[in-house]
Copies of this chain bind each other. A is one copy, B any other.
Amino acid sequence: MNQQLIFTDTPGAELDRIVDAMGRPQTVVVADVNTARLVVPALRRQSRTLSDAPVLTILAGDAHKDTNGLQYVWHGLEELGATRRTLIVNVGGGVVTDLGGLAAATFKRGLPMVNVPTTLLAAVDASVGAKTGINFNGYKNLIGAFYEPAASLISTCFLGTLPRREFLSGYAEMLKHALLDSNEALSELLRHEPDFYAGGGDVLLDMLRRSVAVKARIVEQDLHETGLRKALNLGHTAGHAFESLAMARGEALPHGYAVAAGCVVALILSHLRLGFPSGALRLFASYVTRHYGPVAFTCDDYPALLGFMAQDKKNNAPGRIAFTLLEDVGRPRTDIVIEPDNIKVALDIYRDLSGI
């Protein structure tokens, strides 16, 4: 991984330093309508580079992470006379870093880019790992490229205004990373409320640094997702199934909420199959239930949930359902095939633990 990960309270100043080191190329910002209004002006005040940089503003929301948005950025870069040296600065959440990243990867076969994630989820997840992409024909991230930013500038200074459910969504990925890391990292997260102000900005920046390091370490060893990177899929097999079920019912279930519940299911299976300690399972499940609430379903939903799990795009075991599980905190095992009856047992236990 060649990407610089910079944890900072002054992202604008850090950006100027990077741009100076690159010989001050033309710089173009990609933002969405929210970050263009709420974040870019603050960054402009901090940064000489951004003070007069043009901004290509896409529509906000995952529904607009599509070919129209991509072509809009391509057009904009062409009109601005972008060359192969032009620097793209993506300012936003995962939609902006994914779409702006794919535009940077493909315009003139690749321009340098820097990510400035403005949501907790983007800071901890989307801005690291070289994945870019758009949705296509109803499929999430069907089109994309592996393309590394030159740097991600990770800061807590944009997170204070996030809606609580957005913050919780990012925190769920941090919980997942802690499960993949160590008991110490997990205790640190479970000790705090999942709230920007609970630990103060410095504590949060430290937690972010540690959380991102888990992902960076795994991605570094497996940039193109051939093996180890599947550890990061912890909680996502059941989590995606919960999301799909909610979508089929026309209900809203944020990705992070689904992942948090999916991690509980993964820990239950880990306990049953690999002897994951029950004490850690209970602590984790109660934290998730308290802050995220249970995902509601009955045993009538089991066939649908199993069907969604079998379709998971990272599932390499055709006709069977494979999970990333843990022998203990920090010790992942990937591609563990679980029989449908045992998955149903785990869903029963999830409902017990969550009090539904």
**A residues whose Cβ falls under 8 Å from a Cβ of B:** 67, 71, 74-75, 78, 83, 102, 105-110, 131, 133, 136-137, 139, 142-146, 224, 313
Contacts and interface: CB of A to CB of B under 8 A. Distances in A.
A133 to B, nearest CB: 7
The quantity of this chain's copies bound in the complex is 2
A67 B45 CA distance: 38
Contacts of A313: 83, 108
A236 to B, nearest CB: 16
Nearest to A79: B137
Contacts of A137: 74-75, 78
B106 A106 contact: yes
A67 B78 contact: no
Nearest to A71: B67
A100 to B, nearest CB: 15
A137 to B, nearest CB: 6
12 contacts: A67-B67, A78-B136, A83-B313, A106-B145, A107-B142, A107-B143, A108-B143, A109-B131, A109-B145, A110-B145, A110-B224, A145-B145
Contacts of A106: 102, 106, 143-145
Interface SS majority for chain A = mixed
Contacts of A108: 142-144, 313
Nearest to A102: B106
A108 B139 CA distance: 10
A108 B143 CA distance: 5
Nearest to A75: B137
Contact of A144 (B83, B109, B224): B109
Given A67-B71, A109-B131, A133-B109, A78 B139 contact: yes
Nearest to A82: B142
A143 B104 CA distance: 10
A107 B313 CA distance: 13
Contacts of A133: 109
B74 A136 contact: yes
Nearest to A144: B109
List the 10 shortest-distance A-B pairs measured between CB atoms, nearest first: A109-B144, A106-B143, A109-B146, A78-B137, A106-B145, A109-B145, A74-B136, A74-B143, A145-B145, A75-B137
A311 to B, nearest CB: 11
Contacts of A136: 74, 78
A199 B292 CA distance: 75
Contact of A146 (B110, B131, B224): B110
A208 to B, nearest CB: 26
A131 B109 CA distance: 8
Contacts of A71: 67
A107 B109 CA distance: 16
Contacts of A109: 131, 133, 144-146
Contacts of A67: 67, 71
